[in-house]
Amino acid sequence: VYQVFESVAKKYDVMNDSMTLGIHRVWKDILMHKMNPSPGTLLVDVAGGTGDIAFRFINYVRSIRERQLQRKLKYHQDLSWQEISESYQEDKSKSLGNSQVVVCDINKEMLKVGKQKAQHLGYSEGLSWVLGNAEELPFDDDKFDVYTIAFGIRNVTRIDLALQEAYRVLKPGGRFLCLEFSHVSNPVLSRLYDLYSFQVIPVLGEVIAGDWKSYQYLVESIRRFPPQEEFKAMIEDAGFLKVDFQNLNLGIVAIHSGFKL
């Protein structure tokens, strides 16, 4: 799996856009809205390589923070200029309100691409990049408010271990969110989806990234992944409560959610 992603890293984003016709961006936005993080949230994004979720998190939290600040300023109409400028300075330095996201990925190349993107797009504070394995996370227990894994868990050899690790590093009350390709039960859509996956995607891989085999692997790994209910049971086995899933696009993609209570 490591070698697949080494060769895939540089063209990852281009391929994602081509394969999903850009829809993966919508899926990730929906995930962020579901998460609805408030400023001060500590997020770990596992298998988050090129930073898509992390950047969205920062944007979301920043916009909420800005609205908070605007509301605060309205209340400060009666204060003296001195007091206003003091509180303004204080708030400015916390434009993210102490929110932080740690991007963890097993692959150095993916992290490298992610860091470059962050620099290019101007993301600097509240962001850190850690090399690590989802089956054995380099973090303390009870650390994070939210754990996300977007399109990464199907590549983990021992999914149960990854789920256990997710449980371990989350604070009590923390939330587990997984965005992943899932099972399409609608027979018509299923056939079209299979046709597209097996016929078109490896061709796209060859033409855009010069790599047929990696994308053939990707398509196969999607088929091997457990369907929605089964994955829900696995999440419950790891100790999560109030586990639920939401199908996107009739099951092509699903968001599973669980809480450590």
Site for another protein contains 192 (CB under 8 A): no
Kindly provide the residue ranges of all beta strands, DSSP E only, lying in 36-98, ordered along the sequence.
Answer: 42-46
- Size of site (CB under 8 A) for another protein: 20
Of 14 and 79, nearer to another protein (C-beta) is 14
| Contact assessment for residue 46 and residue 152, using Cβ atoms and an 8 Å cutoff | yes
Q: Is 199 in the site for another protein (CB under 8 A)?
A: yes
Q: How far is the CB of 216 from another protein (least distance, A)?
A: 7
| 203 lines the binding site for another protein (CB under 8 A) | yes
Residue 213 within binding range of another protein, rule CB under 8 A:
yes
Alpha-carbon distance 43 to 40, whole Å? 10
Q: How far is the CB of 112 from another protein (least distance, A)?
A: 22
Instruction: Report the residue number, 54 or 159, with the smaller CB distance to another protein.
Output: 159
Min dist. Cβ of residue 137 to another protein (A): 23
Residue 236 token pair? 């419950």
- State the nearest-atom distance from the C-beta of 226 to another protein, in Å: 9
Q: d(Cα 191, Cα 99) in Å, to the nearest integer?
A: 43
Q: For residues 183 and 202, what is the distance between their CA atoms, to the nearest angstrom?
A: 20
Least gap, CB of 209 to another protein (angstroms): 10
Residue 191 touching another protein (CB under 8 A): no
- Report the sign of the C-alpha dihedral through residues 11, 13, 18, 19, in that order: positive
Q: Can you tell me which of 200, 248, 250, 259 binds another protein, judged by CB under 8 A?
A: 200
CA distance 20 to 202: 13
Binding status of residue 14 toward another protein by CB under 8 A: no
233 binds another protein (CB under 8 A): no
Binds another protein (CB under 8 A): choice among 14, 207, 233, 241:
207
Among positions 217, 231, 240, 245, the unique one binding another protein when judged by CB under 8 A: 217
The answer to whether residues 65 and 95 touch, using CB atoms and an 8 Å cutoff, is yes
Q: Which are the contacts of 72, defined by CB distance < 8 A and separation ≥ 6?
A: 87, 91
| d(C-alpha 40, C-alpha 35), whole Å | 14
Amino acid identity, position 40: G
> Minimal distance in Å, beta carbon 47 to another protein?
16
The number of angstroms, rounded, from the C-alpha of 147 to the middle of its chain's C-alpha atoms is 8
Cα atoms found within 13 Å of the Cα of residue 14, Cβ hemisphere only: 12
> By C-beta, is 173 or 210 nearer to another protein?
210
Chain contacts with another protein (rule: CB under 8 A): 1, 4, 198-200, 202-204, 206-208, 210, 212-213, 216-217, 220-221, 223-224
